[in-house]
Amino acid sequence: MAVMTALLSPSATAATNTATNAATDAASSAPREATGVTVPAGVTAGVAVFDRQTATFTEQLNPDMPFRSASVVKLLIALDYLWNRGPDYQIPSGDQAKWNSMLRSSDDDAASAFWVRNGGGSIVTRMARELSLSSNTTPPPADQDGIWGYTALTAADTVKIYRYLLDTAPARVRELIMGNLRQSTRCSATDHFDQHFGIAGAFDKPWAVKQGWSGFGGIEQGTCRAATSALNGKAATVDLTRPALHTTGTVGSGDRSIVAVYTLHDVGTPYGKAYTDLGRLTRSLNVPGGVRPAGTWFGTWSFGVNVRPEPNTTRDPLLQLPAGVEVLVGCQTRGQTVSVPPYTNDWWAYLPQYQGYVSNIYISSPDNQLPGVTPC
C-alpha cells in the first residue's frame, strides 16, 4: 500500500520540481486587482487564470474566497478513487460507466455512489492534505455530509488541482480524468442542464471542463429539457443559498491555461441569465492560448426555444436553449417562415456552438435580418 500511495503522491512524483514550484508560486500567487475582468451586476466572483507556459497568473480576483463547489468537487472524488490504487489500475467495468458519466456529463447519481462508498467528507479532507490545498477547502458541514456539492473550494485551490493533474500525476491518472473532461457533453446526465457555459462557450476547442451549478430552483425551462430542482441550505463559512455557477478547466493547445471561475448570483436569478453573465465574465479574461470563436453575440427571448438541425421545424430539435440566454451567431440564412403574432420571420440564425439553427424571431434584434451577420 505504501508503494502504491507513493506512485500517486505529489511528494514522491514531484520531488525534483519542489524548489522550482515553490519559487514560481511565491512569485506569481499574490492577488492583484483584475481590472480587465467584467463582473456583471449582482454577481460575486472568484477567479484565477494560470498560464502554464510562463508559470504566472494572468488573472486573479478573490482567488482565496471559498464557494460551495457544486459539481467541481467531482475532481476530488475522482482523484481520491484512484489515489491508492497505482497507475496501472484498471477501473472495473461496473465503475467505469459511472466514472465516465460523472466526469463527462456531471452525473450526480454516480458522484453520490462514489461519495458514500469512499467515506463522504473524508474524501475532501484526504485530498486537501495530499494536494496541499488551503484551509479554505473544506468538506460539507457535518450535518450535511451527504451533500457533496456543499464542499467549499476556491479558485486558487482549483488551479492547484489542475496543476497536479497536468504536471505531477502519473500519466494514467491524467489520462483517465483529463480525457473525460475533454469529452464533456453539452447536457448533464441527471438534471439535464446545458453545461457548455463559461469556458466551453467562450473559447474554441481544445478545452477540457468540469462545471458546477446549484440552487436554480424548480423546473428550469429552456435547458436540454426540464431540469430538477437543486438543494439549498445555510452555513456560516460558505454561501449555500445564492445560486452558484462555476466553470473550471483548461484552455488551449497543450492545456496552456488553467481557468477557474466561481460565481454566485442574486437569489431568483434564472439559469439563462446566470449562464449569460458567467459567459461575459469568462470572455473578458486574459487566457493565453485561448481562441475566441467567430461570430456575434445576441440575446434571446421566450422559453423553450428550440435549436433545430436545419432552418425549419420539420425535424426534431437538438435541444432547447436556457431561457433568455445569450448565443453566438455565426451566420444567417432564409428558411421556413415562423410566426409569433404579430411577427413573422423567415430568417434563421446558425449557432456554431450548438451546431444548429434558431429562428431569428427569437433573437433580440429589431429587424428580421440580424445586423452585421453574414449569410450562410
Distance CA 355, CA 284 (A): 24
Check residues 223 and 11 and name the one with the higher pLDDT. Answer: 223
Contacts of 205 (CB under 8 A, 6+ apart): none
What's the CA gap between 200 and 283, in Å, rounded?
A: 10
pLDDT tens-digit series, residues 110-120: 999 999 999 99
Mean pLDDT of 99-119: 96
What was the pLDDT predicted at 89? 87
**pLDDT at residue 104 above 80?**
yes
pLDDT of residue 189: 84
Reported confidence tier of residue 88, pLDDT bands at 50, 70, 90: confident
pLDDT digits (tens, 9 = 90+) for 279-330: 999 999 999 999 999 999 999 998 889 999 999 999 999 989 988 999 999 9
Model confidence at 241, pLDDT cuts 50, 70, 90, reads very high
pLDDT band for 36, please (50, 70, 90 cuts): confident
| Structural element, H or E, at residue 328 | strand 327-329
The rounded distance, in Å, linking the Cα atoms of 373 and 352 is: 13
**pLDDT value for 306:** 92
A 10 A CB-CB count for 344 gives 12
CA distance 198 to 212: 10
Mean pLDDT (the chain) is 87
Arithmetic mean of pLDDT, 252-270 = 96
- Among 83-87, 300-304, 359-363, top mean pLDDT goes to 359-363
| Residue 35 pLDDT level (bands cut at 50, 70, 90) | low
Task: Give the percent of the chain with pLDDT over 90.
Answer: 77
Has residue 174 got a pLDDT over 70?
yes
Q: Which of 218, 227, 225 is nearest to 316 (CA)?
A: 225
Return the percentage of the chain with pLDDT > 70, whole number: 86
- Report the pLDDT value the prediction gives residue 25, as an integer from 0 to 100: 40
pLDDT at 13: 35
64, 136 Cβ separation under 8 angstroms = yes
328: left (phi over 0), alpha (psi -120 to 50) or beta: beta
Q: Which of 157, 167, 216 is nearest to 192 (CA)?
A: 216
Going by C-alpha positions, the residue among 157, 156, 127, 143 that lies closest to residue 236 is: 143
CA-to-CA dists, residue 61 to 34, 132, 173, 256, angstroms: 6, 21, 30, 20
- Residues 317/305, Cβ–Cβ less than 8 Å: no
Q: Where are the beta strands (DSSP E) in 138-205?
A: 152-153
Going by pLDDT thresholds of 50, 70 and 90, the confidence category of residue 216 is confident
pLDDT at residue 358 greater than cutoff 90: yes
What burial class does residue 5 get, using C-beta atoms within 10 Å of its C-beta: 0-12 exposed, 13-18 middle, 19+ buried?
A: middle
Average pLDDT over residues 209-237: 59
Q: How confident is the model at residue 21 (pLDDT cuts 50, 70, 90)?
A: very low
Q: Return the pLDDT at 223.
A: 67
- Distances in Å between the Cα of 81 and the Cα atoms of 75, 139, 221, 336 are 10, 16, 35, 51
Q: Which pLDDT score is estimated for 217?
A: 61
Per-residue pLDDT tens over the stretch 119-173:
999 999 999 999 999 999 999 999 998 999 999 999 999 999 999 999 999 999 9
Q: What is the pLDDT of residues 49-80, one digit of tens each?
A: 999 999 999 999 999 999 999 999 999 999 99
pLDDT given at position 33 = 42
Q: Is the pLDDT of residue 11 over 50?
A: no
